[in-house]
């Protein structure tokens, strides 16, 4: 059994020995990338420790608990970790780790700071990913400290979140091992990121961003980096933009800890970070890595004492899930028109659906035509190549779900179900909102809404955060692939309405735990995909007419105007048992380590609603210090009394412009007859937004937008100018929004410079 191996002794086939992390670092070294020196404590070494120390029986017995019981789960973590910490590590393993560290120091000529990172592997499934569930320890120095960190990494295999995850995914605890990598931390004088190909066009142009000091400033976006573009085929520098670099991150020589924002000495602020030779050296390395992996790479690099290091290389996230269909405009006859609610162009056979019983009619690749979709139609929507509805606006159920399913959709055609009939062959253009007769030549495949925007997600770092809205857990992965800075709105309505049974039915039949379990499951899928980035979950906000369609929904009152009726926070505060079930789900998620879950309250109009909601949250045993709590600003009432909410205490305020617009302009958001005057750019809306942002900025409260308007470039530009902290867009719009934000920010900076 090998206890420790140098990273250059392993490669991509050694995942079961050194974990995914160790194997990928080894692989990069093998293709000649200058990766910082280090070694891995192998997974067999961990196994050996378990077997020889005689703790196996007790350890695995301690994990046999009901993982849905938070107390039992936390107890399991406590017990398992203390079994690990109390066990005696065989002296030969301890010695091998310490000796290897000392050898590393000898090679480096000093006692080095190292990063100690966990990498879990499943014996029978070497590719299983447990990323992010175990611990990492940075800036460790000295053999004792390094060894201690290795043992802590081992113990982190038994954190509550990791235990829960394995049980839920059906992994046997006994078959999951852990390897630990120990790698020298680079103390760079300059660093940054680069894309091996142009992230939007795919051209062989390496885009490099560079700043002084450690890489954190570039990765986090806290500094404007220099930007260079190198043609890697001609090895020619195409452009250089030298930014003013105000701050840099440096390492404290004593503790090894990062000092985040040290001012850059004046003479270096406007100085070009990289020499031309260094740019070319990086571009050459980028080409090697892209060639080796076969796809464009997003690479972190650094220079220490003029020596180049590659810290990480991973694929530029492809958000395409289908083949992009070229849009030609076509010369086919237009049958119906509506709102282009989800982009993409496809052809298929019409299936008109008049009720839930007919959903089986929709086969893969058909075009579903219906008056309006409902949550029970989601399985059929997944099979459909496109969706056409008679009713609805840009924010109705059909529009939101189609976008998340990357399914082209034309909404609010008024006459779709009348004009289109079963068996007709049509082509749907979900960008322009057109439905053509027949199959247009190029529209043969289901186009991904995301692909219709771009092939790759561009990792442009902006000061204004760009987040994403999610409504169905199935969209979590695709949403995370946009590399958004978090989820600015997770709507739970779609999850709850999708259960088919009214929440009250769960309560009456004593099935509260089942309901809470469903919520935990759905939210967890999203929170896991984004962890540790924030995910703001909005409490239930479905109007009575939507609830009525569910089993047990007959109890819903008939309201003259459901949009102005019993929904959102006003309902939560009356039907507190429903609200409390949601809060219990949030609490459970926090207990599972998903502390990135925040709470957002919908449709508030008076501060007293916030006061009461907070009381209930505290009654449910949640600590408001430890959870992000915010409000939706979607009524003029909330917008114009924002000071009261700030004084009462909120972490964030997010504009729900769909409702704010309908309530300010008296325009029903779901009524296609008035869709043409539904405008979020109306001065009255912008005034309210500006007022709220100003007040929040004065008070240090985060602002965001999660209404549909956050996906519109014109609105985004205004919001950046107004000074909003973040923007949450639809999945298909994240990239365009990020570009719009970046441009708007640059214009502001340029103007400021010119005015100096
Ligand atoms: C809004 O009103 O803008 C919003 C985001 O909430 P919903 O669309 O779910 O009402
Ligand atoms: Mg709303």
| CATH number for position 274 | 3.30.470.20
pLDDT digits (tens, 9 = 90+) for 613-639: 999 999 999 999 999 999 999 999 999
- Summarize pLDDT for 521-552 with one digit per residue, the tens: 999 999 999 988 999 999 999 889 888 888 89
* pLDDT band, residue 316 (cuts 50/70/90): low
Q: Which residues in 213-250 are b (16+ Cβ under 10 Å) and which e?
A: bbbbbbbeebbbbbebbbebeeeebeeeeebebebbbb
Residue of the nearest CA to atom 3 in ligand 1?
656
Q: Which of ligand 1's atoms lies nearest the C-alpha of 709?
A: 3
The closest-lying atom of ligand 1 relative to the alpha carbon of residue 658 is 3
Instruction: Please give the distance, rounded to the nearest whole angstrom, from the Cα atom of residue 564 to the centre of ligand 1.
Output: 13
Of 394, 419, 451, 418, nearest in space to 715 by CA: 394
Residue 453 lies in a domain: no
- CB-CB contact of 408 with 384 (8 Å): no
pLDDT, residue 203, reads: 78
CATH number at residue 659: 3.20.20.60
CATH number of the domain where residue 21 is located:
3.30.1490.20
Q: Residue 406 has what pLDDT? A: 84
Q: Is 566 buried (19+), middle (13-18) or exposed (0-12) by CB count in 10 A? A: middle
Distances (CA, A) of 368 to 32, 346, 422, 424, 433: 53, 12, 10, 11, 15
Give yes or no for residue 497 CB within 6 A of ligand 1. Answer: no
For position 445, what pLDDT does the model report? 36
The last residue of one of the domains, among 416, 444, 472, is 444
* In a shared domain, residues 408 and 479: no
Residue 326: pLDDT band with limits 50, 70, 90: very low
What confidence score (pLDDT) does residue 549 get?
Answer: 80
User: Residues 6 or more apart from 48 whose CB is under 8 A from it?
Assistant: 1, 3, 90, 93
Ligand 1 atom with minimal separation from the 491 CA = 9
pLDDT at 613: 97
The residue range of the domain holding 551 is 464-755
Q: Ion ligand 2 — residues with CB under 5 Å? A: 634, 656, 659
Q: Does the Cβ of 395 fall within 6 Å of ligand 1?
A: yes
454 found inside a domain:
no
The H or E element containing residue 437 is: strand 434-437
pLDDT above 50 (res 164):
yes
Distance from Cα 231 to the centre of ligand 2, integer Å: 47
Q: Which residues pair with 437 in a beta bridge?
A: 426
Tell me the average pLDDT of the chain: 88
On whether residue 324 sits in a domain, the answer given is no
In this predicted model, which residue has the larger pLDDT, 102 or 498?
102
Residue 455 has what pLDDT?
32
* Predicted confidence band of residue 572 (pLDDT cuts 50, 70, 90): very high
Band of the pLDDT at 447, cuts 50, 70, 90?
very low
Residues 175 and 207 in one domain: no
Check residue 130 and give its pLDDT: 66
In the predicted structure, residue 675 carries a pLDDT above the cut 90 = no
Say what the pLDDT of residue 435 is: 92
Tell me which H or E stretch contains 345. strand 345-353
Separation of 476 CA from ligand 2 center, angstroms? 21
Both 298 and 255 in one domain: the answer is yes
Q: Decide if 514 is inside a domain.
A: yes
Ligand 1 pocket residue status of 493, Cβ below 6 Å: no
157 with 195, same domain? no
Give the model's pLDDT for residue 170.
80
Nearest CA to ligand 1 atom 6: 656
Q: Does residue 218's CB lie within 6 angstroms of at least one atom of ligand 1?
A: no
Average pLDDT for 121-134: 64
For residue range 383-410, what is the model confidence (pLDDT) as tens digits?
999 999 998 877 788 888 888 888 999 9
491 lines ligand 1 (CB under 6 A): yes
- What is d(CA 173, CA 671) in angstroms, rounded to the nearest whole number? 53
Q: Are residues 97 and 24 in the same domain?
A: yes
Closest atom of ligand 1 to 469 CA is 5
515 and 570 belong to one structural domain: yes
pLDDT band, very low/low/confident/very high, at 471 (cuts 50, 70, 90): very high
State whether 266 and 397 are in the same domain.
no
Cβ of 658 below 6 Å from ligand 1 = yes
Q: In the block, which residue shows the tokens 């561009």?
A: 458
Q: Which of 184, 215, 236 is the last residue of a domain?
A: 184
The residues carrying an active-site annotation are 397, 706
In Å, how far from its chain's centre is CA 651? 20
- Whether 120 shows a pLDDT value over 60: the answer reads yes
């Amino acid at each position: 059994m090998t206890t420790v191996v140098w990273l250059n002794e392993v490669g991509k086939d050694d995942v079961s020995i050194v974990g995914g992390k160790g194997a990928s670092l080894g692989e990069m070294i093998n293709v000649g990338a200058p990766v910082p020196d280090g070694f891995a404590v192998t997974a067999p070494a961990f196994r050996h420790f378990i077997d020889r120390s005689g703790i196996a029986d007790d350890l695995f017995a301690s994990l046999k608990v009901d993982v849905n019981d938070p107390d039992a789960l936390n107890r399991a973590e406590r017990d398992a970790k203390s079994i690990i910490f109390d066990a005696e590590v065989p002296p030969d393993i301890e010695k091998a780790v310490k000796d290897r560290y000392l050898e590393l120091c000898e090679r480096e000529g000093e006692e080095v700071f190292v990063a100690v990172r966990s990498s879990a592997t499943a014996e029978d499934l070497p590719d299983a990913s447990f990323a992010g569930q175990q611990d990492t320890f940075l800036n460790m120095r000295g053999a004792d400290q390094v060894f201690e960190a290795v043992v802590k990494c081992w113990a982190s295999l038994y954190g509550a979140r990791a235990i829960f995850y394995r049980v839920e995914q059906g992994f046997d605890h006994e078959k999951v091992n852990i390897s630990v990598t120990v790698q020298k931390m680079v103390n760079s004088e300059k660093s940054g990121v680069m894309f091996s190909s142009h992230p939007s066009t795919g051209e062989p142009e390496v885009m490099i961003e560079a700043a002084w000091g450690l890489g954190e400033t570039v990765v986090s976006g806290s500094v404007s980096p220099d930007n260079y573009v190198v043609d890697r085929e001609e090895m020619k520098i195409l452009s250089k933009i030298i930014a003013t670099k105000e701050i840099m991150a440096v390492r404290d020589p004593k503790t090894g800890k990062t000092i985040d924002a040290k001012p850059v000495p004046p003479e270096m602020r406007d100085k070009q970070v990289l020499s031309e030779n260094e740019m070319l050296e990086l571009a050459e390395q980028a080409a090697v890595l892209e060639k080796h992996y076969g796809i464009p790479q997003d690479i972190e690099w650094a220079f220490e004492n003029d020596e180049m290091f590659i810290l990480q290389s991973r694929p530029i996230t492809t958000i395409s899930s289908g083949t992009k269909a070229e849009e030609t405009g076509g010369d086919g006859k237009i049958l119906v028109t509506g709102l282009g609610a989800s982009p993409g162009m496809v052809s298929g056979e019409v299936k008109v659906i008049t009720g839930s019983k007919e959903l089986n009619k929709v086969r893969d690749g058909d075009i579903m035509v219906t008056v309006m979709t409902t949550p029970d139609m989601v399985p059929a929507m997944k099979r459909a190549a496109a969706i056409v509805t008679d009713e609805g606006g840009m924010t109705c159920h059909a529009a939101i779900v189609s976008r998340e399913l990357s399914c082209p959709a034309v909404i609010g055609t008024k006459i779709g179900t009348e004009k289109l009939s079963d068996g007709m062959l049509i082509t749907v253009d979900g960008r322009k909102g057109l439905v053509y007769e027949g199959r247009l030549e190029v529209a043969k495949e289901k186009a991904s809404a995301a692909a219709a925007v771009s092939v790759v997600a561009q990792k442009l770092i902006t000061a204004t955060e760009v987040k994403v809205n999610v409504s169905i857990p199935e969209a979590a992965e695709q949403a995370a692939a946009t590399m958004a800075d978090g989820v600015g709105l997770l709507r739970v309505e779609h999850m709850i309405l999708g259960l088919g049974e009214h929440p009250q039915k769960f309560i009456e039949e004593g099935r509260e735990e089942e309901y809470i379990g469903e919520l935990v499951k759905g939210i967890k899928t999203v929170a896991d995909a984004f962890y540790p980035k924030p995910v703001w979950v909005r409490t239930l906000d479905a109007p009575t007419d939507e609830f009525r369609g569910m089993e047990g929904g007959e109890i819903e009152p008939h309201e003259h105007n459901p949009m102005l009726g019993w929904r959102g926070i006003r309902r939560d505060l009356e039907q507190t048992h429903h609200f409390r079930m949601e809060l219990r789900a949030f609490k459970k998620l926090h207990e599972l380590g998903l502390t990135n879950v925040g709470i957002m309250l919908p449709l508030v109009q008076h501060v007293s609603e916030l006061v009461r909601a907070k009381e209930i949250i505290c009654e449910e045993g949640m600590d408001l210090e430890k959870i992000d709590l915010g409000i939706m600003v979607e009524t003029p009432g909330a917008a114009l009394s924002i000071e009261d909410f700030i004084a009462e205490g909120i972490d964030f305020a997010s504009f729900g412009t769909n409702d704010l617009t309908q309530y300010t302009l008296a325009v029903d958001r779901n009524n296609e007859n008035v869709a043409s005057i539904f405008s979020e750019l109306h001065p009255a809306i912008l005034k309210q937004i500006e007022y709220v942002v100003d007040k929040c900025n004065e008070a240090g409260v985060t602002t965001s937008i999660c209404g549909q308007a956050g996906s519109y470039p014109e609105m985004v530009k205004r919001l950046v100018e107004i000074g909003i902290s973040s923007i949450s867009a639809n999945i298909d719009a994240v990239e365009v929004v990020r570009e719009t934000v970046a441009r708007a920010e640059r214009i502001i900076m340029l103007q400021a410079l010119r005015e100096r």
